[in-house]
Amino acid sequence: MGRPRRFCSQACRQWHWVGRQRAGELQLSEDELIVARTELDTLHDELYVLACAVNDAERDLSSAGARPTAAELREIVDWLLEAARPLRDRELTPPA
């Protein structure tokens, strides 16, 4: 009944309010975001690892013109999943 919930919890509602207050203080627009350098560097590194895994998979699938075996395909998929998991599991947390 009533309005649909906009926030999952009071804590999320509070973080949203704090974020809006800080954005106003720093004169940030809705399209701008402040991210810690370490977080950005870590994200960039994880994206680079995933890009390399995709390149390796493409190379392995097209090399020698032969059809890969099931074991080789499994190895390629496992490598891609291993490279993608850190991005899937990443959570952006508010600064302490």
Sorting pLDDT into bands at 50, 70 and 90, what band is 96?
low
Write out pLDDT tens, residues 40-77. 899 999 999 999 999 999 998 888 567 888 898 999 99
Question: Is 94 domain-assigned?
Answer: no
Domain of 66? 36-89
- pLDDT, one tens digit per residue, over 1-39 is 788 888 888 888 898 898 888 888 888 888 887 788 998
Whether 11 is in a domain gets the answer yes
Residue 13 within a domain: yes
Q: Are residues 53 and 75 in the same domain?
A: yes
pLDDT at 3: 83
**74 and 41 belong to one structural domain:** yes
Residue 29 lies in a domain: yes
**Is 82 a domain residue?**
yes
85 and 42 part of one domain:
yes
DSSP per-residue codes, 12-68: HHHHHHHHHHHHHHHT--TT-----HHHHHHHHHHHHHHHHHHHHHHHHHHGGGPPP
Q: What is the pTM of this model?
A: 0.65
